[in-house]
A and B are shown apart, each in its own frame.
Chain A
Amino acid sequence: MTFKPRKRGFLGAIALASGLTFALAGCSLEGVDTGSAASDDELAKVEGEISFATLELSSNPDLKKYIEDSIAAFEEEYPGTEVEWIDVPFAGAQEKFAADAAAGNLPDVVNMNPNFAQPLEREGVFLDLDEAAPDLADLYVPGAWDGFKVPGVEGSFGVPWYLTSEVTMYNAGLYEQSGLDPEQAPETFDELYENAATVSAAGAGAFYGLHPALENRFMTDLAKIGVPLIDEDLVWTFNTPDAVAHVEQLAQMYQSGVFPADSVTQTLNDAKEGYMAGTIAAFPSGPNFLNGIEQNSPDVFAKTKVAPQIIADGGTYNMSVMGLLIPKTSENQGTALAFAEFITNAENQLALAKIAPVLPSVTDAIDDEFFQDDSDGTELSKARKLSANQLPNAANLTPVQYDDQVKNAVLAKIQLALTGELSAQDALDQAVDAANEITGATK
């Protein structure tokens, strides 16, 4: 049997194409489904099934057990409720939640940090807790509660869960090897940079005093030295003389070999790996990083000492906030709210802080003597105490608008300043312009 070339195939393709085009013309171009806030009566009802999404907690067996036990305790306290736990890997979580939000099927209680949450908060995806539970705000560390507010939008959208506030970690062994006093931690930015220069000179390429970790620290360091990052109209403003001086200092350090040569394009992970490999002498990070050092590099852990976070005089400490948010598309907002309150209550947060090096966001729990007890002499309990004591004067210093796109646009310019291809002033001016172009389009 032979087939003749047929026109029907071609016609079929055209028919398919036009059919699809018509079908898609009817396809939605609508944005996110925001749902609607439950009434007071509905909020008072605690029953039925809810889903609870966390960010990468199940890989730690202790944390997994903690979450499972907490869910069981909640279900026992509120008979007729059922909580389904979903643990989402950190990588790709933002995309997943964005897609879920667009489809209107976010889990009933979602664990997010303020940067993840911000664009969704702005579109009105989450329940306003100032309205739904007005008494709640007083229970939490103010800086943490404010993390889930969006400039220009009324309300507060997340119950703060666990917090971390970074401390200065340094490798006392490398300090000593470089002729520095291993017991004397750097207390100011100047000391940190001077020590870094001394260590890098002694290391002669084998080890360095500091990694710039631009991805992690550039914006928060500007905030710590008092540079105003963004104004009330959401216009970026960080090209001030103080910022220019800071970038000039970074560039001078990079060009004179205080930072590793490849560090300018490296990420936070490279900086962490460098510290754990014993080739970077100082690394400001949350106390939770100590566990990573202990597991991956016991030698470096043995030499690691901790000191308070470095900020300029009169500055604010930085902290990272994790929160629980309730989308208004949830059919059981009452249960979801009760669960968010339950998981973040003093008792449960204290229990969490005892198995993971994080701090509670509830003031009742943070006052517990556990956080002041460093009598075992370990760096971990010292770090816990230091970071807990920083909390009253701490805030999430990263503006919520500093998302990945803004961050990459800003850092690309700062990298050019470090390599000497742009002056600090030009780099900051261009970075501010690039950031405003991105943020301006969405505000």
Chain B
Amino acid sequence: MRPRRLLTPWLLLAPALAVALVFHIVPFFRTVQLSFTDFRLSSGGQYIGLENFGALASSEVFWLSAGNTLLYVVVVVPLLVALPLLLALLVQPKIPAMPFFRASFYTPVIASMVVVGLIWVFLLKEQGPVNWLLQTLRIVQEPLPFLTDGTLLLFSCMLVTVWKGLGFYMVIYLTALANVPGELHEAAQVDGAGSIRRFWSVTIPSVRPTMLLVGVLSAIAAMKVYAEIYVIAGPTAGPGGTVRSMVFTIREVGSGFDGQIGYAAAMSLVLFVFTIGLTVVLQKLNRENREA
């Protein structure tokens, strides 16, 4: 092979490779390196072996953050796999006015998380519309403290994540649904299957790979939750700081001139391992499902 031919693909790759190297690969390895140090911007750092990881293991705040993050994944991911599919089925028919609904459901996706968060803060206030509705319908006697009670705050944040994500995953499902051959539905209909039966036996198996994709994407997003918590629970992460996610804590300990960057890097690495682990488990589950 002539050298020119060998060089051309690399030249074409170079811009993308440079971006990946500078913005992804080098920072990743720098994070790995820093996680073994007690680095601070102000005073620098030294290698301290696995001390950061030992400190993490015995840190209540870390386990609280990890627990909340896991809870977030457990609650948010199933909702974000199921609800957008139902929504996609609803808006799939090509009838007038449907594009309007599709666009409406997609709007929260393009809105900034801060704006969405502020809107929900207004809705969820003690004297806000949601509490007014719940009281008017006599579902509750007293207004619910959505924004001041630790547990309710976490669920309020989850609600916002789900609401904002619906449109995005709906669009992914719409593409998948468009690829389901119509003949399958027709054949099932001829065999006497009703719409519910067709949903379980035709639609679900056809979009299963997409469900896995949505599951993985939403799980990764849920692992990285930050903005919802900051906007809704405030900079303290709710009363007692109990509504914190891992990213919230990473940012808190790592920011500022005195930020413990080494410790924050170690926590980032743990989050990375958790995320990869979760993705692998989801993929494995799907494979077993398919083989079964």
Residue B58 interfacial (CB < 8 Å)? no
* Residues of A in contact with B, size category: 35 or more
Q: Determine whether the beta carbon of A408 is less than 8 Å from that of B241.
A: yes
**Once bound together, how far apart are the Cα atoms of A99 and B256, in whole Å?**
9
Taking CB atoms, residues of chain B closer than 8 Å to A205 are 127
Q: Determine whether the beta carbon of B239 is less than 8 Å from that of A416.
A: yes
- Max chain B C-beta neighbours (<10 A), residue from A30, A31, A120, A421: A31
Residue A70 interfacial (CB < 8 Å)? no
Residue A266 interfacial (CB < 8 Å)? yes
Q: Determine whether the beta carbon of B33 is less than 8 Å from that of A25.
A: yes
Known: A30-B44, A94-B256, A94-B257. A412 touches B33 (CB 8 A): no
Task: Give how many A-B residue pairs fall within 8 Å (CB-CB).
Answer: 128
**Once bound together, how far apart are the Cα atoms of A20 and B255, in whole Å?**
25
- Max chain A C-beta neighbours (<10 A), residue from B29, B145, B236: B236
Taking CB atoms, residues of chain B closer than 8 Å to A373 are none
Q: Determine whether the beta carbon of B25 is less than 8 Å from that of A16.
A: yes
Q: Determine whether the beta carbon of B235 is less than 8 Å from that of A101.
A: no
**Once bound together, how far apart are the Cα atoms of A300 and B204, in whole Å?**
58
Nearest residue in B to A264 (C-beta to C-beta)? B148
Known: A215-B235, A264-B239, A408-B252. A119 touches B258 (CB 8 A): yes
Residue A188 interfacial (CB < 8 Å)? no
Tell me which of A120, A260, A408, A442 contacts B236 (CB under 8 A).
A408
Nearest residue in B to A419 (C-beta to C-beta)? B239
Q: Mark B41-55, 1 if CB is under 8 A from A, else 0.
A: 111111100000000
Residue B268 interfacial (CB < 8 Å)? no
Interface residues in A397-442 by Cβ distance below 8 A to B read 403-405, 408-409, 411-413, 415-416, 418-419, 421-422, 441-442
Interface residues in A79-117 by Cβ distance below 8 A to B read 94-95, 97-99, 101-102
Known: A215-B235, A261-B127, A403-B258. A98 touches B241 (CB 8 A): no
Q: Determine whether the beta carbon of A31 is less than 8 Å from that of B239.
A: no
Q: Determine whether the beta carbon of B29 is less than 8 Å from that of A261.
A: no
Known: A17-B29, A30-B44. A265 touches B257 (CB 8 A): no
Tell me which of A260, A404, A442 contacts B235 (CB under 8 A).
A404
Q: Determine whether the beta carbon of A20 is less than 8 Å from that of B26.
A: yes
Residue B277 interfacial (CB < 8 Å)? no
**Once bound together, how far apart are the Cα atoms of A4 and B33, in whole Å?**
35
**Once bound together, how far apart are the Cα atoms of A403 and B256, in whole Å?**
9
Tell me which of A31, A411, A419, A422 contacts B148 (CB under 8 A).
A419
**Once bound together, how far apart are the Cα atoms of A122 and B259, in whole Å?**
14
Q: Mark B224-242, 1 if CB is under 8 A from A, else 0.
A: 0000000001111111110
Q: Mark B245-266, 1 if CB is under 8 A from A, else 0.
A: 0000000110111111000000
Taking CB atoms, residues of chain A closer than 8 Å to B203 are none
Interface of A is mostly: helix
Known: A261-B145, A265-B147, A416-B239. A98 touches B41 (CB 8 A): yes
**Once bound together, how far apart are the Cα atoms of A421 and B255, in whole Å?**
29
Q: Determine whether the beta carbon of B256 is less than 8 Å from that of A98.
A: yes
Taking CB atoms, residues of chain A closer than 8 Å to B108 are none
Tell me which of A31, A415, A441 contacts B44 (CB under 8 A).
A31
Residue A130 interfacial (CB < 8 Å)? no
**Once bound together, how far apart are the Cα atoms of A16 and B24, in whole Å?**
13
Taking CB atoms, residues of chain A closer than 8 Å to B257 are 32, 94, 97-98, 101-102, 119-120
Residue A262 interfacial (CB < 8 Å)? yes
Residue A355 interfacial (CB < 8 Å)? no
**Within the complex, what minimum Cβ distance (angstroms) separates B247 from chain A?**
15
* Interface positions of A (Cβ within 8 A of B): 16-17, 20-21, 24-25, 27-32, 94-95, 97-99, 101-102, 119-120, 122-123, 205, 215, 260-262, 264-267, 403-405, 408-409, 411-413, 415-416, 418-419, 421-422, 441-442
* Interface positions of B (Cβ within 8 A of A): 25-26, 29-30, 32-33, 37, 39-47, 125-127, 143, 145, 147-149, 153, 233-241, 252-253, 255-260
Pick 14 A–B contacts, CB within 8 A, sort by A: A17-B29, A24-B33, A29-B44, A31-B43, A32-B41, A95-B256, A98-B257, A260-B126, A262-B147, A265-B238, A265-B239, A412-B238, A412-B239, A416-B240
